[in-house]
Structure 1
Amino acid sequence: MLNLNILSQFSRLSLTSIAKIPVNTRSITTSAVVQFKITDQLWAEPLKKKKKLDPAIVKAREERRRKRIEKQIRRLEKNARQLKPIEEIEPPLHLLDEMGKRKRPAVVLTQEEIEARALLLKDWTRYKKQEYISNVNQIDRIMAAQRRALDMLYEESEELYNEAIMPDLQLLPYSISGTYATPPIKNYNSPDGEYIDVSKKWGNK
């Protein structure tokens, strides 16, 4: 920066010419007349000197890091073909021990028994088919009778017809109650919540 005592001897014209010198500043002025400008503040600090480490210490650290990585690779190779167990489908151990007692021998059917079961299945299929056809026919007859009754009611009175086709809201009563919409509470400190991690860890560490 220029000395203020020296600048006081310059005329206004000379100060204006000095101010016109292009500089890389923020255009911050301290006076509207002399148009002084200040430079940017650089909040820098000297770089820290890197500490020189003993090559033996650096080599020992790299060796420990390499051994740690090799140990992890060996552990992964050991468990490569071992699948992670799923507790939901894993049977209890006491059931595995009693598998011989609980396992039933396969039933060997005779030819007569196989033919009897096949005929019984066919009879059951025919029965269910006839039952389905009779139910469909009965529903069709009911709907046709209802349609004829509504047509006859419409010929008698249109108002009664409109009331008849209205849905009955009392047939299936339904009520519900729950929380209501409320405005937010001012200055409410919402808790972050807490949880307990109960997941089990698997594999050797």
Structure 2
Amino acid sequence: MMSLLSSSSLKFSSLFSGSRTLFTATPDYFKITPQLWREPLKKKKRADPAVEKQKLDRRRKNLEKEIRILKKSADQFKPIDELEVSSVIKNNLELRKRLVPKLSLEEEIRRRRIERKWCQYKTNQHDQDFINIDNAIKASERALVELKEVSEDLYLEAIQLDLQLLPFRCEGPLRTPPVEGYEAMDGDYKDITKKWE
């Protein structure tokens, strides 16, 4: 049997010597190698040194030109339309100036006192809010403890979330289902991006 397989593999290899070969490692394992097609290597063309030098010179000149252009526009920033002031406003700048009257010493002292009083009032209000919230939390905790001692069922009912506290009602789907067979049209796109060179 082994001699039969080895002779058949020799026949196959002689048939496919140009493209593939067939060999076996064991009697029940046949394997074909991949095709090994090759073509001759292309000869490198010998370029004229003068032509090569001209190409390099052209490339260097183009790079130098681009560097010069970049250096010219290095100090220029992209204009922002929202920050540009129109020439009408620039011309009427003197008319738009507002004269702020200088406050007297008494008025400045009065305003500072008012600001200080307002700050104290808001600080006291903020502290009082925290105290009221803390008192409410402590009172509810005490009430729950006493309710648990009185009745376990009422305590369990009391600690349940009240879903009616903030009522929410929603009707129907929030998004419509897709329409079968509908093909959306492609919209027109206009590129209005400004380009600066």
Residue identity opposite 2:104 in structure 1: T
158 and 44 in structure 1: CA distance in 2 versus 1, 3 angstrom threshold: same
Gaps of at least 5 residues in structure 2 are 1-6, 11-18, 24-34, 177-186
Partner of 2:83: 90
**In 2, Cα distance between the equivalents of 1:174 and 1:95?**
54
Structure number with higher helix proportion: 2
Given that 2:20 and 2:36 are in contact with CA atoms closer than 8 Å, whether structure 1 keeps it comes out as no
Partner of 1:43: 38
Given that 2:144 and 2:155 are in contact with CA atoms closer than 8 Å, whether structure 1 keeps it comes out as yes
| 2:81 pairs with 1:76 | no
**In 2, Cα distance between the equivalents of 1:137 and 1:41?**
88
Match of 1:157 among 131, 134, 151: 151
Gaps of at least 5 residues in structure 1 are 1-15, 20-24, 30-39, 181-192
**In 1, Cα distance between the equivalents of 2:123 and 2:58?**
78
- How many residue pairs align between the two structures? 168
**In 2, Cα distance between the equivalents of 1:140 and 1:63?**
82
**Cα distance, 1:50 vs structure 2:** 2.3
**In 2, Cα distance between the equivalents of 1:51 and 1:74?**
35
- Greater RCO structure (CA 8 Å; 6+ sep): 1
Which has the greater radius of gyration?
A: 1
What RMSD, in angstroms, separates the aligned Cα atoms of the two structures? 4.5
**In 2, Cα distance between the equivalents of 1:67 and 1:194?**
41
Aligned to 2:22, what secondary structure does the other structure show? Answer: coil
Partner of 1:146: 140
Q: Percent identity?
A: 36
**In 2, Cα distance between the equivalents of 1:99 and 1:166?**
67
Report the TM-score when normalising by structure 2. 0.59
62 and 133 in structure 1: CA distance in 2 versus 1, 3 angstrom threshold: closer
Partner of 1:134: 128
Moved over 6 A (4+): none
**In 1, Cα distance between the equivalents of 2:89 and 2:58?**
44
Residue identity opposite 2:45 in structure 1: K
138 and 54 in structure 1: CA distance in 2 versus 1, 3 angstrom threshold: closer
Report the TM-score when normalising by structure 1. 0.57
Deviations 1:149-194 (A, max 9, x none): 33332232110111112110121234675569xxxxxxxxxxxx99
Structure number with higher strand proportion: 2
